[in-house]
Amino acid sequence: MTLDSIDLKIIALLRQEGRLSNQHLAERVALSPSACLRRLRTLEEGGVILGYQAVVDPRHTGQAFEAIVHVSLDQAQPHWHEAFVAQLAGWPEVHEASIVTGASNYILQVRTEDLAAFSTFVVDKLNRAHGVREICSHIVMRKVKAPGQPATLR
């Protein structure tokens, strides 16, 4: 699918304000509401826009503590990747997981209530996962840029 400048502007506006009405979106990209809606549907059906979600402040959901965790697995274990991914599915503490190149196999974004809950997750779940060879955690001290938010020095 080839995107033109109007498509890119629609995408940028929805990234910033996902709840824009079609009317307001159309006004901001200088299209009629019906033309804007057609483009929006085409972007959705073409898989460019995968969905819509709310950006939630984790302090209000009991998940204010965040860590980025690098995990290395013993690749000599049979089905090491499938086994680890299956375990990830059952861990609500893991908000995102990516397969990466480099020294580790995965990078996880882990959110818990506090350091004690994070420690429990690492010791009781992650460290006991089949094939885990090495874990390296980085505690997030402060976000300087996040989805839906401008970069800040504060």
Summarised one tens digit per residue, pLDDT across range 74-123 is: 988 788 899 999 999 999 999 999 999 999 999 999 999 999 999 999 99
Q: How far is 21 from 49, CA to CA, in rounded Å?
A: 16
Counted domains in the chain: 2
pLDDT band (50, 70, 90) for residue 148 = low
150 lies in some domain: no
CA within 13 Å, CB half, 140: 19
Same domain, 14 and 77: no
Q: How far is 39 from 37, CA to CA, in rounded Å?
A: 5
What's the pLDDT at 154? 65
Same domain, 41 and 62: no
Q: pTM for the full model? A: 0.80
What's the pLDDT at 147? 72
Same domain, 130 and 68: yes
pLDDT of residue 64 exceeding 70, the answer is yes
149 lies in some domain: no
What's the pLDDT at 9? 95
Summarised one tens digit per residue, pLDDT across range 124-142 is: 999 999 889 999 999 999 9
What's the pLDDT at 30? 96
105 lies in some domain: yes
Same domain, 76 and 131: yes
CB 48 within 8 A of CB 10: no
Same domain, 24 and 62: no
Same domain, 39 and 62: no
What's the pLDDT at 151? 73
From residue 105, alpha-carbon distances to 28, 38, 46 in Å are: 43, 41, 31
Q: What CATH number did the domain enclosing 125 receive?
A: 3.30.70.920
85 lies in some domain: yes
Same domain, 69 and 10: no
Same domain, 35 and 65: no
Same domain, 76 and 134: yes
Domain that holds residue 62: 58-139
What's the pLDDT at 45? 96
Same domain, 65 and 123: yes
Mean pLDDT of all residues in 61-68: 95
144 lies in some domain: no
Same domain, 42 and 63: no
Summarised one tens digit per residue, pLDDT across range 11-60 is: 999 988 889 999 999 999 999 999 999 999 999 999 999 999 888 888 89
Same domain, 123 and 93: yes
pLDDT band (50, 70, 90) for residue 70 = very high
